Amino acid sequence: MEGFQYRFEPGTDPALPPLLLLHGTGGDEHDLIPLGREVAPGAALLSPRGRVLEHGMPRFFRRLAEGVFDEDDLRAQAAALAGFVAAAREQHGLAAPVALGFSNGANIAAALLLLHPGTLAGAALLRAMPPLRQPPEVALPGTPVLMLSGQADPIIPPQGSAALAATLEGAGAAVMHRSLPTGHGLTRTDLVLTREWLENGLK
């Protein structure tokens, strides 16, 4: 489907939205499965591998330098990922998924929200930054978004995550943004907050 290698785990609780798991640089389709199981036990898990390689490490889109994205490739890869989600939903009988993305995966999830609204029912963006220098005008009325950023993140400055939160809020999304006393890596607090957000109906 759209050239993506992926892993799918059927859900055992049909009341839960499926999770679209989007790994960080160097991860693969197996990377976030344990995280998905922990934060949403019983949910269907759909986990694709990024199609771009950077020094042999999978990513979801190219970058020109740290924090500088190849936006043409980003748009092309976001369109391909949206196509993959549509095909996977049809094949596996899934509702619109909630994305759970880390780092590069969080950035492609943010791009899906901005470029292909309706693909996602919501998104948990862990260590995300603005994917586009000039985001398009888009309507995301009430779309739930959890953003968890690190106060000491050496890759994403606080103003970067704040700018993305403002863009999504401006589009009408229901954004919960928490800045945690940590760096770029995930912590136990990330898992606890993500699970609580999911258990509370994405609120």
**Per-residue pLDDT tens over the stretch 152-189:** 999 999 899 999 999 999 999 999 999 999 999 999 99
The three-state secondary structure class of 14 is coil
- Distance, in Å, from the CA atom of 177 to the CA atom of 17, rounded to the nearest integer, reads 21
The residues assigned a catalytic role are 103, 153, 184
Measuring CA to CA, which residue among 44, 35, 48, 41 is closest to residue 9?
A: 44
Q: Bigger pLDDT: 2 or 50?
A: 50
- Distance, in Å, from the CA atom of 72 to the CA atom of 75, rounded to the nearest integer, reads 5
Whether the per-residue pLDDT at 33 is higher than 70: the answer is yes
Residue 140 lies in a domain: yes
- Distance, in Å, from the CA atom of 88 to the CA atom of 112, rounded to the nearest integer, reads 16
Instruction: Report phi then psi at 7, rounded to 5.
Output: -125, 135
Contact 75, 114 (CB under 8 A): no
The whole-number average pLDDT for the span 194-199 is: 96
The predicted structure's pLDDT at residue 120:
98
Residue 1 lies in a domain: no
Residue 25 lies in a domain: yes
Q: Which pLDDT band, with edges at 50, 70 and 90, does 1 fall under? A: low
Q: Which pLDDT band, with edges at 50, 70 and 90, does 20 fall under? A: very high
The predicted structure's pLDDT at residue 129:
96
Supply the pTM of this predicted model. Answer: 0.96
The neighbouring-strand residues paired with 122 are 98
- Distance, in Å, from the CA atom of 21 to the CA atom of 36, rounded to the nearest integer, reads 7
CATH number of domain containing 187: 3.40.50.1820
The predicted structure's pLDDT at residue 202:
81
The count of domains in the chain is 1
Domain that holds residue 40: 6-199
Residue 42 lies in a domain: yes
Each residue's pLDDT tens digit, 117-159: 999 999 999 999 999 999 999 999 999 999 999 999 999 998 9
The predicted structure's pLDDT at residue 203:
74
